[in-house]
Amino acid sequence: MSDGPMLFDRLRADCGQDWTDYIDHAFVRGMGDGSLPRASFEHYLKQDYLFLIQFARAYALAVFKSPALAEMRANLQGLKAILDVEMDLHVRLCGEWGIAADELERLPEARATVAYTRFVLDAGQRGDLLDLAVTLSPCVIGYAEIGAKLAALPASGDSTYRVWIDEYSGAEYQELAESAKREIDRLGGLSLTEARYPRLLDLFRQATKLEADFWQMGLDLAD
């Protein structure tokens, strides 16, 4: 591969309108200006908790697929970020609305949740560490981009979504996302060829579309 943009940045650019549809979805805009219905956010948050359970399994798979200890440790950090930070945020917010953690775990998975998480796990099981990292990246890195974008907007006067925005715009999560970008670039340097790139772009695009579907589920209150 020749010198050029980081692999994630190339994937993001080549994803085009699908990426824009994800990061500028009506659900995202509603969080930014405070117009998102509370019921939509609650539905999203509950499903995202179930989503994170499966994503934790994807990071555990990444640990298993890692050929070196350094890679195992890096993916372990991603796993810990889900289990010890992101899921705690969901439990805390839902607890404020009277929804206990054990109740969250008993909720049924919505179709959008099943479609997205099983796609990621299947990509990881069939492919190598680069396939899995690319498939995870719209979520991991996209949330950092969305968080930073929303944090830069004027306060809406409705603080309902500020905790979520602060979490994903914060320095700790932003660094996690940057580390994920560097890791994708490193893995690409080891095994990426131009012949392989279309397959990676397809994985990235599908995951990005499934992210947009996940936002839409919140708006539709889908089961």
- The single residue of 71, 86, 145, 211 carrying the catalytic annotation is 211
Residue 3 per-residue DSSP state: S
| Number of Cβ atoms within 10 Å of the Cβ of 132 | 25
**String of DSSP letters for 90-103:** HHHHHHHTT--HHH
Pairwise CA distance, residues 220 & 146, whole Å: 21
Active site residue 94: no
**String of DSSP letters for 121-181:** HHHHHHS-HHHHHHHHHHHHHHHHHHHHHHHTSPP-S-GGGHHHHHHHHSHHHHHHHHHHH
Active site residue 211: yes
- The single residue of 86, 139, 145, 183 carrying the catalytic annotation is 139
Pairwise CA distance, residues 47 & 172, whole Å: 24
Number of H helices, E strands in the chain: 12, 0
Tokens 């996209």 belong to residue? 142
Active site residues: 139, 211
